[in-house]
């Protein structure tokens, strides 16, 4: 089979942090470092900062995205934001199914599935987040849970559109805990996810889908993850809030000697 190009993606998730001023200041500090980045730099920012950040990030080749969206095109849904609206503001991608959305806002796989399809139809790249809880891992159910999340969240997704998908494995127990998964665990899981994607779609879709790891990623541990063959990038929470640590991870991504470096930076 023809070798498939797989992008490397370093994505920050700012969660509910940063005013517009703080966001613009961040990007001013980051810009000299990312000017020559040979990996894809993504930032999922608060809705309020998307427009100005996207305008500013364009020349820096940083992609700005949303952290959520509703599945409906429009309607009487007070407080919600539609795919078209985040796209209109300049977002090129959207995080979907983050464990904080699942746990705090009770989002289930069926709802996330509708959002994934809406995002793809709206020309937004979905970063689908999946991950098991500590209890599920202790019970030996990790693969079962992840397969269920992938299968349900991607149900009915068109194969051609699926080529725009990114999948992030974020074990719930590793998020914000300071206890990252080992790179071996993350690699084993991402290899399993790639197999699952192949069974849901086909080998080509599975081979080209960037698979990210997230959960207590730091500038110290990021290299271990990036050196794994099935880990194509990182989804970073707190370490993405500071330009120095985020920049360091981007630089490590550029320099990492992963076996998939030959696949770096495809379109
Ligand atoms: P931390 O990097 O702060 O653990 O957060 C991970 C995360 O939730 C990214 O989406």
Cα-based distances in Å from 152 to 9, 16, 31, 71, 135: 24, 27, 38, 15, 21
Pocket test for ligand 1, best of 236, 246, 249 (most atoms within 8 A of CB): 236
Percent of the chain with pLDDT over 70: 94
Ligand 1 and 10: CB distance under 6 A: no
Cα 96 to averaged position of ligand 1 atoms, centre (Å): 14
The average pLDDT across 10-20 equals 98
Choice between 179 and 257, residue whose per-residue pLDDT is larger = 179
CATH superfamily of 9-255: Aldolase class I (3.20.20.70)
Res. 62: pLDDT tops 50: yes
pTM over 0.75: yes
Among candidate residues 4, 53, 62, the one with its CA nearest the CA of residue 33: 62
Of 5-9, 82-86, 131-135, the poorest mean pLDDT is in: 5-9
What interhelical angle do 183-200 and 142-153 show, nearest 10? 40
Cα 66 to averaged position of ligand 1 atoms, centre (Å): 15
The average pLDDT across 70-90 equals 98
The average pLDDT across 79-93 equals 98
Ligand 1 and 175: CB distance under 6 A: yes
Residue boundaries of the structural domains of the chain: 9-255
Q: How many CB atoms lie within 10 A of CB 124?
A: 24
The token pair that represents 34 in the structure block? 């990312």
Q: How many CB atoms lie within 10 A of CB 267?
A: 5
Strand-pair partners of 43: 12, 64
């Amino acid at each position: 089979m023809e070798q498939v190009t797989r992008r490397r993606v370093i994505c920050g998730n700012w969660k509910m942090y940063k005013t517009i001023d703080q966001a613009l200041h961040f990007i001013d500090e980051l810009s000299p470092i990312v000017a020559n980045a040979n990996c894809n730099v993504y930032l999922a920012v608060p809705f309020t900062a998307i427009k100005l950040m996207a305008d500013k990030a364009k020349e820096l080749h940083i992609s700005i995205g949303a952290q959520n969206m509703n599945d409906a095109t429009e309607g009487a849904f007070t407080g919600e934001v539609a795919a078209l609206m985040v796209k209109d503001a300049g977002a090129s991608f959207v995080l979907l199914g983050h464990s904080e959305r699942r746990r705090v806002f009770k989002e289930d796989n069926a709802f996330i599935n509708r959002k994934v399809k809406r995002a793809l139809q709206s020309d937004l790249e979905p970063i689908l987040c999946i991950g098991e809880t500590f209890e599920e891992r202790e019970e030996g159910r990790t693969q079962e849970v992840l397969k269920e999340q992938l299968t349900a969240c991607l149900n009915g997704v068109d194969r051609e559109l699926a080529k725009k998908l990114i999948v992030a494995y974020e074990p719930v127990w590793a998020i914000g805990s300071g206890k990252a998964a080992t790179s071996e665990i993350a690699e084993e899981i991402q290899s399993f996810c790639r197999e699952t994607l192949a069974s849901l779609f086909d080998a080509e879709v599975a081979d080209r889908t960037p698979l990210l790891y997230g959960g207590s990623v730091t500038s110290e541990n990021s290299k271990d993850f990036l050196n794994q063959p099935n880990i194509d990038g990182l989804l970073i929470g707190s370490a993405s809030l500071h330009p120095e640590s985020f920049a360091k991870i981007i630089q490590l991504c550029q320099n990492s000697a992963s076996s998939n470096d030959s696949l770096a930076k495809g379109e």
